[in-house]
Amino acid sequence: MKKLILTLLIGGLMMTGLSAKTAVVYFSATGTTERMAKNAAKEMGADIFEILPVHKYTDADLNWHDKKSLTTIECNDPKCRPAIESVVSTNSTANFDISAYETVILCYPIWWAYAPKIMYTFVESQKWGGKRLVTLCTSGGSGLGRSGSDLAKFAKDADFKGGKDFTRGSGAAIKKYVEGLLK
């Protein structure tokens, strides 16, 4: 009987397209994207990892009104790839290993209509062959735009499923959206 129940539970998870083989990987400079990513991971039962930059962004670095702020300079340089200190689980000290996952959901803020350049650093550092990729963002107004498809170009051999702005979305709404993409 226990084997039957376990088989049914595993089958149910696989039918939704979500399982322990899903990782939510996020970068957040202010906490907004972190909240969204944690809500999504909790609702989906996914593992969660945070991208930690070598350089921690200050309020001055994030000042989009200042043409000399660090993020403005990074966004205007297509070759910029800020260094990553580590990609760690937010509930353990484990570093991220993409080989353990079938689906990777990237969560990031939108900066000047694009994903932050550190997301490109991350994407380019991974072996994406056969992995499903979903992008989710938080935005003050410009929305996802082409940021997801732009990142997918650098995720060599990933199966890009799509992306959406979830600045005001709940974990349940994100789960429903991702399940729809993975059917």
Q: List pLDDT tens digits, range 16-75.
A: 445 549 999 999 999 999 999 999 999 999 999 999 999 999 999 999 889 999 999 999
Model pLDDT, residue 16: 42
Burial of 19 (0-12, 13-18, 19+ CB in 10 A): middle
106-124 pLDDT, tens digit per residue, is: 999 999 889 999 999 999 9
Q: Which residues contact 159 (CB under 8 A, 6 or more apart)?
A: 130, 131, 132, 133
Average pLDDT rounded to a whole number, residues 81-103: 90
CATH code assigned to 20-182 = 3.40.50.360
Compute the Cα dihedral for 109, 113, 118, 119 and give only its sign. Answer: positive
Model pLDDT, residue 13: 41
Put simply, whether the predicted model's pTM sits higher than 0.95 gets the answer no
Q: What percent of the chain has pLDDT over 90?
A: 79
CA distance 156 to 153: 7
Average pLDDT rounded to a whole number, residues 76-89: 95
